[in-house]
């Protein structure tokens, strides 16, 4: 299930799907910084949805870190894809982080 929101630094971005808005913008997904929101398409591939989500999250990370100037779409995609594969290929990581969050370690 798609997360309802993601918090990047101090900003909480609701995550929604709206294929018509994406077609209007000629984009596969996008992040809005002013009225925080991440909008994804309605592709049938969950892997593509996750890759698009991590791409937009990476834009938000670079913005929150004040490192967004001059970043190319290729750089954003590479970083987003790496984080996605790190999490997918390290299934114990999320459990470990939940233990830390819940004070169980
Ligand atoms: Zn982008």
pLDDT value of position 64: 96
Ligand 1 centroid to residue 103 C-alpha, Å: 35
Ligand 1 centroid to residue 58 C-alpha, Å: 8
Which burial class, exposed, middle or buried, applies to 53 when counting CB atoms under 10 A from its CB (0-12, 13-18, 19+)? buried
pLDDT value of position 102: 96
Ligand 1 centroid to residue 97 C-alpha, Å: 27
Strand partners, 5: 14
- With contact defined as beta carbons under 8 Å apart, do 29 and 21 qualify? no
Ligand 1 centroid to residue 14 C-alpha, Å: 17
pLDDT value of position 19: 86
**If the chain, 105 residues long, is cut into consecutive pieces of 10 residues, what is the mean pLDDT of each piece?**
94 93 88 94 88 97 96 97 96 93 91
pLDDT value of position 71: 96
pLDDT value of position 22: 87
């Amino acid at each position: 299930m798609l997360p309802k929101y993601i918090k990047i630094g101090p900003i909480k971005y609701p995550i929604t799907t709206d294929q018509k808005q994406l077609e209007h913008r000629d984009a596969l997904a996008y992040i809005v910084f002013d009225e925080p929101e991440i909008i994804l398409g309605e592709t049938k591939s969950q892997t593509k949805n996750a890759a698009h989500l991590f791409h937009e999250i990476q834009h938000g990370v670079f913005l929150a870190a004040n490192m967004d100037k001059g970043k190319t779409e290729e750089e954003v995609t590479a970083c987003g894809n790496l984080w996605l594969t790190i999490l997918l290929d390290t299934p114990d990581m999320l459990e470990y982080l939940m233990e830390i969050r819940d004070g169980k370690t």
